[in-house]
Amino acid sequence: MTGKAGMMYRVFFLFIPMVAVLPGCASYYSHFAMFPAETSQGESRQVRVSWESAEYPDWWILDDRSTALKVETQCSARIWRLRDDSHDDAGKCGNGIRACAEAGVDRVVVRREDLDPSACIVVNPGQGNAQIADIEGRLELLVACEPVAPESEREGETENMDYLRASPVPYTVYTRKIPRGSLRASLPAFDESACE
């Protein structure tokens, strides 16, 4: 090939190897927060919020990515995983960052116009296009559910399934962002002695 067509052909083939060798353009981060709050049963517990992200330069072809956002309550086996529309397995309970109520397990007790009737936990309610990868240092965590039963039986053992108390006013959570692999990137641990 000659002329412009030949030059475009060469440029195209030069671009493909470049894309293949630059997957390391992302910067990887751990995000987390720990804060005190009450459970649905009125017990004072620590609540941990965490997720991982991959951030790409503005000129790169990929958008920033994230894992699901986890919400864990001290002494509880219940772990919430909130997802957004960038995740394939996002729940069918509205848009934005959300986790849905599980039939027979959760009961929706907070109703708001900006919430889907089956949404259980939502980050930054009212922002239907919100994505976890875009959270910068602060989030609003709205809990609209409570457990149908705060404890369950599993293999002959009683398991705590309680979580953060529902409230029509979101919890304001300030998060830390640490480069993954750093010594400071370890999640804060729960004090398990409080569960005895």
Residue 157 corresponds to which amino acid?
E
Q: What is the pLDDT of residues 26-54, one digit of tens each?
A: 899 999 999 999 999 999 999 999 999 99
Strands 138-143 and 171-174 turn out to be antiparallel
pLDDT of 15: 40
Q: Which of 12-16, 92-96, 132-136, 172-176 has the lowest mean pLDDT?
A: 12-16
Residues 67, 144: Cα–Cα separation, whole Å: 22
Instruction: State the pairing for strand pair 176-179/65-66.
Output: unpaired
**CB contact burial 129-168 (16+ within 10 A = b; e otherwise):** ebbbbbbeeebbbbbbbbbeebeeeeeeeeebbbbbbbee
Mean pLDDT in residue range 115-141: 94
**First and final CA of the chain: distance in angstroms?**
77
Whole-model pTM? Answer: 0.83
Domain ranges, ordered by start, for the chain: 25-183
pLDDT reported for residue 11: 40
Structure confidence at residue 133 as a pLDDT band (50, 70, 90): very high
User: Residue 59 — very low, low, confident or very high, per pLDDT cuts 50/70/90?
Assistant: confident
pLDDT of residue 24: 57
Given a contact cutoff of 8 angstroms between Cβ atoms, the answer to whether 82 and 123 are in contact is yes
Is residue 141 predicted with pLDDT exceeding 90? yes
Average pLDDT over residues 135-158: 92
CA angle at residue 30 from 63 to 188, to 5 degrees?
A: 160
- Residues listed for the chain: 196
Structure confidence at residue 36 (pLDDT): 97
Alpha carbon distance 62, 79 (integer Å): 29
Tokens of 183: 């010594």
For position 156, what pLDDT does the model report?
Answer: 81
pLDDT tens-digit series, residues 161-171: 999 999 999 99
Sheet containing strand 171-174, strands side by side: 97-100, 119-123, 138-143, 171-174
Among residues of the chain, what percentage have pLDDT more than 90?
64
pLDDT tens-place string over residues 2-26: 555 554 444 444 344 434 444 558 8
